[in-house]
């Protein structure tokens, strides 16, 4: 033994060894105890796996700090208790889906058994399905809640689950905190009802798949364009995830006939054998798709993450090279296309809106303003966008929205980012560009010419350990005590402090409150600095990782497509000046 085990960790180990846990679990604990190092043992038991505001996430394995039948069971029992208390006297039902990760089917079945044992009706998908389809199923079936077993694009050793409420959105206040309280009350394995009631579990698949695809088809704004460009050359990869179940089917239903799947990544596999990380934000994860697109001279390449809520896309740029668009660019293009299409169709009445997060490009705000469409800005996290849609239901019509981290939503029948519907609209807008003799990248440049060239960069600083956490807090305290007066040569004219919920106009020395409690805004440790030349810097410590993130946005006019490269280099240099000026390192 190389490291001493503290008393609280030892108490958890003893509780598992002496409690009503299965023999295999106890045997695995003893093997860890008899090994050469206690590191794994300590990491497995030094705390209880935290049930956060969105649900669970952790490494699969034995122990109180791991994803296993007991930690998943305790979380589910707590949620079941909350549902039974909240909806007393009602027939309660939940929908459950899972992704392609290791143990996902087993965890989904376990969750179904526990809900059914608590007299809750369960709709369980027969096999893996995308996260957005789970959101759709909740609304379609009239459920009070839902669970999707997934760890998104985390490494293969992880799994987790996300909790949804009856509107199809991830849980928000007050339910998120209330659920956590109920979960924390489950202090013994004996509190968990593991014995399922089969007659309360109904398997589902096609009765949700078909209407989900039909609703996505209603998002299409130019079916005639799709018909004319049905042979649009598309390459798609699900990166071993759930997208294979729905993306090809949806594209086919829309009328696209020339879709090529990356064979090596088509089979669902929780080990993600062809990539280091199954994250479409990373070019390495899309290498096979890009290689295939190159060989086929494709018009469009798309990749979804394992649970299919995020999508990455790329096309040939003006130099003939395949270029991946970032999340800000793709979100902007989707909104640009939808605003134009809605205007041409005469559908803009003054009661439409778009929603995005405060760290997503202000290009979207600029375009919405031009079209007379309200753009609501929420805190980071798609659950806040969903809450805005819920608050405005029946009053204003949602066009679309998104966030810089590759998540987009079109239409309001799903209440989470939806890579299936996003693939459909990205294919359509690419077809629309081709119909005019343009590429997707040409459309991007046209958007910049009309609205300004916005360029964003993310600086993520990792500060590990207790000292790192203190350093991050000190950085935020320093920014509040001594905010920059200018950034990269331009004076700071406004400061938004979401922790204090204040907005300060520097020139007029006026501070006004940022209204909380609605429209996706609550107190959060985020600072934003705005300069006279349109630069914006957002500082946001991560709530789950030892990181502080700085979102930098700069802009310049784009005179012509020929000026793209020169302007792009100017913007990159400007971002670097911001980084140097604010000492973001």
pLDDT at 177 over 80: yes
Instruction: Give CA–CA dist 278/289, Å, rounded.
Output: 13
How buried is 23 (Cβ within 10 angstroms: 0-12 exposed, 13-18 middle, 19+ buried)?
exposed
Supply the CATH classification number for the domain 453-582. 3.30.310
Residue 291: half-sphere exposure toward Cβ, Cα within 13 Å: 9
Q: How confident is the model over 183-239, as pLDDT tens digits?
A: 999 999 999 999 999 999 999 999 999 999 999 999 999 999 999 999 999 999 999
| pLDDT at position 299 over 50 | yes
The full set of domain ranges for the chain reads: 47-204, 211-450, 453-582
Hey, which bits of 240-396 come out as E strands? 259-261, 300-304, 311-316, 322-325, 352-357, 374-378
| CATH fold label, 211-450 | Alpha-D-Glucose-1,6-Bisphosphate; Chain A, domain 3 (3.40.120)
Q: What is the CATH number of domain 47-204?
A: 3.40.120.10
Given a cut of 60, whether residue 316 has pLDDT beyond it is yes
**pLDDT at residue 567, rounded to an integer:** 98
pLDDT band of residue 518 (cuts 50, 70, 90) is: low
- Residue 2 pLDDT > 60, yes or no? no
Measured at the alpha carbon of residue 166, what is the angle toward residues 163 and 167, in degrees to the nearest 5? Answer: 100
Q: Which pLDDT belongs to residue 248?
A: 98
Instruction: With a cut of 70, say whether residue 484 has pLDDT above it.
Output: yes
Residue found by looking up tokens 């509107």 in the block: 167
Task: Name the pLDDT band for 1 (thresholds 50, 70, 90).
Answer: very low
Cα separation, 409 vs 401, whole angstroms: 5
Q: Is 152 in the active site?
A: yes
Topology match between the domains 47-204 and 211-450: yes
Report pLDDT digits (tens) over 18-64: 999 999 999 999 999 887 668 889 999 999 998 887 889 999 999 99
Count the neighbouring beta carbons within 10 Å of the beta carbon of residue 320.
Answer: 7
Of 44, 100, 104, 152, which one is the catalytic site residue?
152
pLDDT at 36: 66
Q: Has residue 539 got a pLDDT over 70? A: yes
Among residues 329, 362, 303, 568, the alpha carbon closest in space to that of 429 is found at 329
At CA 53, angle to CA 52 and CA 56, rounded to 5? 40
Q: What is d(CA 66, CA 77) in angstroms, rounded to the nearest whole number?
A: 17
Half-sphere exposure of 415 (CA within 13 A, CB side): 27
């Amino acid at each position: 033994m190389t490291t001493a085990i503290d008393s609280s960790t030892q108490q958890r180990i003893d509780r598992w060894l002496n409690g009503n846990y299965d023999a295999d679990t106890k045997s695995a604990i003893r093997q860890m105890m008899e090994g050469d190092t206690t590191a794994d043992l300590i990491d497995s038991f030094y705390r209880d796996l935290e049930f956060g505001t969105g649900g669970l996430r952790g490494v699969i394995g034995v122990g109180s700090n791991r994803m296993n039948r007991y930690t998943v069971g305790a979380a589910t029992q707590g949620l079941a208790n909350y549902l039974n208390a909240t909806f007393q006297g009602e027939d309660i039902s939940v929908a459950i889906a899972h992704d392609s990760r290791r143990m996902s089917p087993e965890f989904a079945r376990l969750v179904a058994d526990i809900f059914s044992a608590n007299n809750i009706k369960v709709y369980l998908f027969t096999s893996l399905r995308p996260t957005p389809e789970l959101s759709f199923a909740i609304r379609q079936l009239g459920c009070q809640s839902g669970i999707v077993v997934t760890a998104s694009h985390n490494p293969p050793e992880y799994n987790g689950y996300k909790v949804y409420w009856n509107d199809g959105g991830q849980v928000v206040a007050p339910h998120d905190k209330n659920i956590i309280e109920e979960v924390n009350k489950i202090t013994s394995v004996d509190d968990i009802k593991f014995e399922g009631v089969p007659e309360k579990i109904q398997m589902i698949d096609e009765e949700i798949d078909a209407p989900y695809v039909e609703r996505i088809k209603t998002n299409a704004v130019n079916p005639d364009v799709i018909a004319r460009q049905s042979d649009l050359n598309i390459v798609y990869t699900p990166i071993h995830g759930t997208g294979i179940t729905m993306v090809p089917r949806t594209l086919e239903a829309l009328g696209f006939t020339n879709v090529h799947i990356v064979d090596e990544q088509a089979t669902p596999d929780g080990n993600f054998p062809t990539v280091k990380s199954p994250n479409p934000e990373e070019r390495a994860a899309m290498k096979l798709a890009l290689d295939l697109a190159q060989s086929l001279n494709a018009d469009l390449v798309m990749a979804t993450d394992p649970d299919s809520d995020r999508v990455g896309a790329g096309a040939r740029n003006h130099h003939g090279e395949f270029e991946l668009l970032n999340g800000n660019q793709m979100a902007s293009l989707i909104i640009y296309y939808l605003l134009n299409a809605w205007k041409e169709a005469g559908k803009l009445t003054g009661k439409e809106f778009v929603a995005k997060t405060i760290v997503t490009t202000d290009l979207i705000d600029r375009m919405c303003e031009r079209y007379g469409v309200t753009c609501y800005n929420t805190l980071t996290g798609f659950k806040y966008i969903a809450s805005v849609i819920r608050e405005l239901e029946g009053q204003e019509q949602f066009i679309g929205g998104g966030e810089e981290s590759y998540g987009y939503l079109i239409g309001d029948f799903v209440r989470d980012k939806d890579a299936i519907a996003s693939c459909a609209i990205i294919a359509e807008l690419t077809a629309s560009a081709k119909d005019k003799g343009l590429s997707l990248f040409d459309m991007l440049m046209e958007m910049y010419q009309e609205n300004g060239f916005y360029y964003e960069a993310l600086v993520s600083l990792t500060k590990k350990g207790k000292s790192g956490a203190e350093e991050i807090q000190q950085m935020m305290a320093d920014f509040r005590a001594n905010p920059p007066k200018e950034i990269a040569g331009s004076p700071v004219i406004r400061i938004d402090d979401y922790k204090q919920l204040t907005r300060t106009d520097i020139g007029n020395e006026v501070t006004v409150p940022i209204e909380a409690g609605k429209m996706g805004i609550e107190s959060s440790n985020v600072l934003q600095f705005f300069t006279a030349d349109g630069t914006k810097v957002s500082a946001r410590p991560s709530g789950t990782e030892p990181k502080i993130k700085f979102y930098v946005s700069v802009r310049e006019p784009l005179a012509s497509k020929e000026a793209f490269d020169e302007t792009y280099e100017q913007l990159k240099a400007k971002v670097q000046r911001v980084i140097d000026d604010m000492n973001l390192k």
